[in-house]
């Protein structure tokens, strides 16, 4: 029986906004120029995506912001990976996942630390997942200008945190992540001050101060 190895990687565990995206790839040949996605310029990464698709079987899975908030990011990431493997047009006999642990795929699987730099199938999966997620975040940037999604892809950069405090969370922000939750709690506290004014809150508004002295 022929061994068909699927490499799996994800993008989007750390951002404050947007989905987590996973890709599964079975390579029948190694595309020229394939390497760790972190070592590739965006243009080179984009050029490799069609080469990867022509060189093997590719499938993508994602977990939404709602699923991330409901399940937690670890289990949502596993769900995205399981969806990607299940959508492969060819069933692999073995799955290699970048990282330290693996979900249950129903077939033999192994976690490989640093696999996105050493295993061609995982390298390819990483490239496709990153390109697709970045594209999705650029689309969000057009719907929600001012957050800078096209630059930071939802990661907690200084720019993103400042925009979050100024503009508030969108529907695509992860409420279960501490920086987003802190903004929401701050908004709730301000609303409560307005609804039920106290001497302290009235003093803060009259002086323009928002915290204790």
Report the sign of the C-alpha dihedral through residues 30, 36, 40, 46, in that order.
positive
Whether the model pTM is above 0.75:
yes
> Could you give phi then psi for residue 60, rounded to 5 degrees?
-125, 145
d(CA 140, CA 120): 31
Report the sign of the C-alpha dihedral through residues 122, 127, 132, 133, in that order.
positive
With vertex at residue 61, the alpha carbon angle to CA 60 and CA 62, rounded to the nearest 5 degrees, is 130
pLDDT band at residue 213, thresholds of 50, 70 and 90?
very low
d(CA 96, CA 91): 14
Provide the 10 A C-beta neighbour count for residue 175. Answer: 15
* The CATH number fitting domain 5-143, selected from 3.30.420.10, 3.40.190.10, 3.40.50.1970, 3.40.50.300: 3.30.420.10
How confident is the model over 184-195, as pLDDT tens digits?
998 754 544 454
Residues 6+ apart with CB under 8 A from 141: 147, 148, 149, 150
Q: Which residue has the tokens 């795929």?
A: 105
Q: What's the DSSP call for residue 31?
A: P
Identify whether the C-beta of residue 137 lies closer than 8 Å to the C-beta of residue 143: no
Residue by residue, what is the 3-state secondary structure of 200-212? HHHHHHHHCCCCC
Write down the domain spans for the chain.
5-143
How confident is the model over 25-82, as pLDDT tens digits?
999 999 999 999 989 999 999 999 999 999 999 999 999 999 999 999 999 999 999 9
How confident is the model over 100-152, as pLDDT tens digits?
999 999 999 999 999 999 999 999 999 999 999 999 999 999 999 999 999 99
d(CA 213, CA 210): 9
Burial string for 6-41 (b: 16+ CB within 10 Å, else e) reads bbbbbbbeebbbbbbbbbbbbbeeebeebbebeebe
Beta bridge partners of 112: 98
């Amino acid at each position: 029986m022929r061994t068909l190895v699927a490499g799996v990687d994800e993008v989007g565990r750390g951002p404050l906004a947007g989905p987590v995206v996973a890709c599964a790839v079975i390579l029948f040949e190694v595309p020229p120029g394939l390497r760790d996605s972190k070592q590739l310029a965006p243009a080179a990464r984009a050029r490799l995506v069609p080469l990867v698709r022509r060189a093997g079987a590719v499938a993508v899975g994602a977990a939404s912001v709602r699923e991330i908030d409901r399940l937690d990011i670890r289990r949502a990431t596993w769900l995205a990976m399981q969806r990607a493997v299940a959508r492969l047009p060819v069933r692999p006999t073995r799955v290699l996942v970048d990282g330290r642990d693996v979900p249950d795929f129903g077939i033999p699987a192994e976690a490989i630390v640093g696999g996105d730099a050493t295993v061609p199938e995982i390298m390819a999966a990483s490239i496709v997942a990153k390109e697709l997620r970045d594209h999705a975040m650029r689309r969000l940037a057009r719907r929600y200008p001012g957050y800078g999604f096209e630059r930071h892809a939802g990661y907690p950069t200084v720019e993103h945190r400042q925009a979050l405090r100024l503009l508030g969370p969108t529907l695509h922000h992860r409420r279960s992540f501490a920086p987003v939750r802190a903004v929401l709690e701050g908004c709730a506290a301000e609303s409560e001050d307005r609804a039920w004014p106290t001497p302290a809150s009235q003093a803060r508004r009259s002086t323009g101060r928002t915290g204790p002295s």
